[in-house]
């Protein structure tokens, strides 16, 4: 511990070293890949210590960032991967967990290496359930599809027609949205905090705005939450009441977080909005709930993710909402700590009343370059731990492969008994968008990924992906 601490105070020298070392590592790596195993093993030890140093340096960046931005939070480094975020002594922990009969703890331990792997992966991920995903998984229709349908009356889709009847209306053939499709996105939570600032215009200035559940968007709240409406992530309970909420907002994309239900189809057939099912796993740690899913969704489409209206400032013990009276809160401290970690890992940028003044200064957040260097270091370390020789690059986690036609082709989601309002819907705006109309960064990403869409397998395994390759026909 002491030794680590000392090396942090020698950072400038260390930086030079790391820089020189990372260049050296390129050579080492080239050497390893073309060498026999005994020689490879020796050299791996060198790269290991190099990667450890890259990560230790990254950890001290994170520590500094938490000190600067955490409003009292501090980070204690344990090793090159692990750190503990601590709230100051005397923090009022009033949220009582009925289940475990304890107050919320004031310390949270995180594995930064895992967090980098997870959140960097989201930048290349598809988070909308598609037909190609169900087709690609061997158990896709039989086992996975029924998990997404409530009250199906069977635990497997022995009768695929029956399951298709539930899913057709919200199942696009291919991913309707693409990694890095938007440059900036605002994710707007529902916290009562929003009434303390006037972020409305700033929120509307983003390329896409993602909102939660039944959040009202109207003149009354415009100066606080803006008026732009692009995406709305809803849980099953809220999905029932969408008709009055979506009234007049035909293009707003509805994404159902959990399960669909026969009743939804009746509702969906009455509205012109695109409706999809979220495709993603339950996170293993950190804050849960719609908020975290909104960030996953945003990260799978956007370069920069700004969050508003998440309760992230000290002093809140209740779960407030900008449009209704406070409700019983849940895990405010755990949430705050995890959001702060995510900001210092370059995943999100936090906007809140107590941070309103410094919103333009992001200089203490690690750059994309720094993050991607740390990411590579983690990948190499993991690979060495597992004793793997092969390097499959960005497809190393693909467990299942599928094949699909080019984007912007194939059927638009719908069902045979589609109402007129639905036939004239705005689905096609996304689902048959020609590849050439995508932003340049999205097209670059597509070619770097060789036209492959990545999806999470469900379940808790961090690394398993379903990968679908799209033919390049008419796209180059």
Ligand X SMILES: *[C@@H]1O[C@H](CO)[C@@H](O)[C@H](O)[C@H]1NC(C)=O
- Which residues on neighbouring strands pair with residue 358, listed in sequence order? none
Task: Please report how close the Cβ of residue 113 comes to ligand X at its closest, in angstroms.
Answer: 13
Give the orientation angle of helix 37-69 with respect to helix 2-9, to 10 degrees. 70
* Binds ligand X by CB under 6 A, chosen from 51, 57, 104, 120: 120
CB of 161 or CB of 325, closer to ligand X: 161
* Binds ligand X by CB under 6 A, chosen from 124, 181, 190, 340: 124
CB of 162 or CB of 472, closer to ligand X: 162
Task: Please report how close the Cβ of residue 445 comes to ligand X at its closest, in angstroms.
Answer: 4
**327 sits in which H/E element:** strand 324-327
* Separation of alpha carbons 456 and 463, rounded Å: 8
User: Using CB under 6 A as the criterion, what x/- string covers residues 226-245 for binding ligand X?
Assistant: -----------------xx-
Residues 426 to 465: which contact ligand X by CB under 6 A? 445, 448-449
Q: What is the DSSP track for 389-427?
A: ----GGGTTEEEEEEE--TT-SPPS--TT--HHHHTSSH
Coarse DSSP helix, strand, coil percentages of the chain, rounded to the nearest 5 percent: 45, 15, 40
CB of 74 or CB of 159, closer to ligand X: 159
Token representation of residue 232: 């709305």
Token representation of residue 73: 């939070």
CB of 196 or CB of 396, closer to ligand X: 396
Burial 59-87 (b: 16+ CB within 10 A, else e): bbbbbbbbeebbbebebebbebbebebbb
The Cα angle at residue 95 between residues 89 and 96, in degrees rounded to 5:
110
Contact 343, 110 (CB under 8 A): no
202 touches ligand X by CB under 6 A: no
Task: Please report how close the Cβ of residue 105 comes to ligand X at its closest, in angstroms.
Answer: 16
Task: Please report how close the Cβ of residue 230 comes to ligand X at its closest, in angstroms.
Answer: 20
Residues 275 to 334: which contact ligand X by CB under 6 A? 317
Which among 379, 381, 384 is positioned nearest to 463, based on CA atoms?
379
* Binds ligand X by CB under 6 A, chosen from 258, 394, 419, 439: 394
**Residue that has been written with the tokens 């700004």 in this structure:** 306
User: Using CB under 6 A as the criterion, what x/- string covers residues 150-189 for binding ligand X?
Assistant: ---------x-xx--x------------------------
Task: Please report how close the Cβ of residue 123 comes to ligand X at its closest, in angstroms.
Answer: 6
Task: Please report how close the Cβ of residue 2 comes to ligand X at its closest, in angstroms.
Answer: 35
CB of 165 or CB of 198, closer to ligand X: 165
415 touches ligand X by CB under 6 A: no
Question: Cα 109 from chain centroid?
Answer: 20
- Binding segment for ligand X (CB under 6 A), chosen from 41-49, 120-128, 194-202, 340-348, is 120-128
Which among 77, 113, 108, 83 is positioned nearest to 4, based on CA atoms?
77
Could you tell me whether strands 324-327 and 231-234 are parallel, antiparallel, or unpaired per DSSP bridges?
Answer: unpaired
Task: Please report how close the Cβ of residue 412 comes to ligand X at its closest, in angstroms.
Answer: 22
Task: Please report how close the Cβ of residue 161 comes to ligand X at its closest, in angstroms.
Answer: 4
247 touches ligand X by CB under 6 A: yes
* Binds ligand X by CB under 6 A, chosen from 45, 94, 241, 324: 94
Task: Please report how close the Cβ of residue 311 comes to ligand X at its closest, in angstroms.
Answer: 14
Token representation of residue 275: 């409706």
Task: Please report how close the Cβ of residue 115 comes to ligand X at its closest, in angstroms.
Answer: 13
* Separation of alpha carbons 51 and 53, rounded Å: 5
248 touches ligand X by CB under 6 A: yes
The total of other beta-carbon atoms located within 10 Å of residue 268's CB is: 26
Question: Cα 370 from chain centroid?
Answer: 19
Contact 274, 427 (CB under 8 A): yes
How many residues in the shown chain lie near ligand X by CB under 6 A? 19
403 touches ligand X by CB under 6 A: no
CB of 67 or CB of 162, closer to ligand X: 162
Q: How far is CA 236 from CA 168, 303, 350, in A?
A: 18, 28, 27
* Binds ligand X by CB under 6 A, chosen from 47, 56, 63, 121: 121
CB of 66 or CB of 242, closer to ligand X: 242
Which residues make up the interface to ligand X (CB under 6 A)?
A: 92, 94, 120-121, 123-124, 159, 161-162, 165, 243-244, 247-248, 317, 394, 445, 448-449
């Amino acid at each position: 511990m002491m030794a680590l601490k000392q090396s942090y105070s020698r950072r400038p020298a260390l930086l030079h070293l790391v820089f020189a070392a990372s260049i050296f590592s390129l050579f080492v790596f080239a050497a390893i890949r073309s060498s026999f195993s005994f020689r490879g093993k020796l050299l791996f030890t060198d790269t290991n210590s190099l990667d450890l140093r890259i990560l230790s340096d990254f950890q001290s960046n994170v520590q500094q960032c938490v000190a600067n931005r955490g409003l009292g939070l501090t980070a204690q480094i344990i090793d090159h991967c692990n750190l503990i975020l601590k709230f100051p002594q005397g923090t009022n922990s009033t949220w009582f967990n009925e289940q475990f009969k304890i107050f919320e703890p004031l310390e949270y331990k995180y594995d930064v290496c895992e967090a980098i792997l997870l959140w960097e992966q989201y930048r290349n991920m598809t988070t909308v359930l598609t037909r190609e995903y169900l087709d690609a998984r061997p158990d896709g229709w039989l086992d996975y599809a029924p998990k997404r349908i409530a009250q199906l009356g069977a635990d497997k889709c022995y009768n695929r027609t029956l399951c298709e009847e539930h899913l057709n209306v919200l199942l696009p053939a291919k991913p309707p949205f693409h990694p890095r499709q938007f440059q900036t996105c605002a994710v707007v939570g529902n916290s009562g905090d929003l009434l303390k600032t006037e972020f409305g215009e700033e929120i509307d200035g983003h390329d896409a705005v993602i909102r939660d559940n039944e959040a009202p968007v109207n003149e009354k709240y415009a100066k606080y939450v803006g008026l732009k409406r692009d995406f709305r992530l809803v849980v099953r309970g809220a999905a029932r009441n969408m008709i009055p909420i979506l009234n007049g907002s035909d293009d707003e994309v509805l994404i159902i977080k959990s399960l669909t239900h026969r009743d939804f189809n009746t509702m969906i057939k009455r509205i012109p909005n695109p409706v999809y099912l979220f495709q993603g796993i339950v996170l293993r740690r950190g804050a849960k709930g719609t908020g975290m899913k909104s960030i996953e969704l945003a990260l799978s489409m956007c370069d920069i993710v700004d969050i508003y209206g998440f309760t992230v400032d000290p002093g809140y013990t209740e779960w407030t909402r900008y449009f209704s009276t406070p409700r019983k809160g849940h895990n405010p401290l755990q949430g705050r700590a995890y959001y702060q970690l995510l900001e210092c890992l370059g995943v999100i940028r936090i906007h809140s009343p107590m941070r309103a003044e410094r919103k333009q200064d992001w200089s203490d957040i690690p750059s994309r370059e720094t993050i991607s260097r740390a990411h590579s270091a983690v990948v190499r370390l993991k690979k060495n731990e597992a004793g793997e020789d092969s390097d499959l690059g960005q497809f190393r986690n693909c467990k299942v492969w599928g094949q699909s036609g080019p984007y912007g082709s194939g059927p638009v989601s719908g069902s045979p008994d589609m109402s007129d309002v639905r036939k004239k819907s705005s689905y096609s705006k996304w689902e048959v968008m020609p590849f050439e109309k995508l932003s340049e960064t999205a097209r670059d990403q597509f070619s770097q990924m060789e036209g492959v869409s990545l999806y999470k397998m469900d379940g808790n395994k961090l690394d398993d992906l379903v990968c679908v390759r799209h033919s390049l026909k008419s796209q180059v």
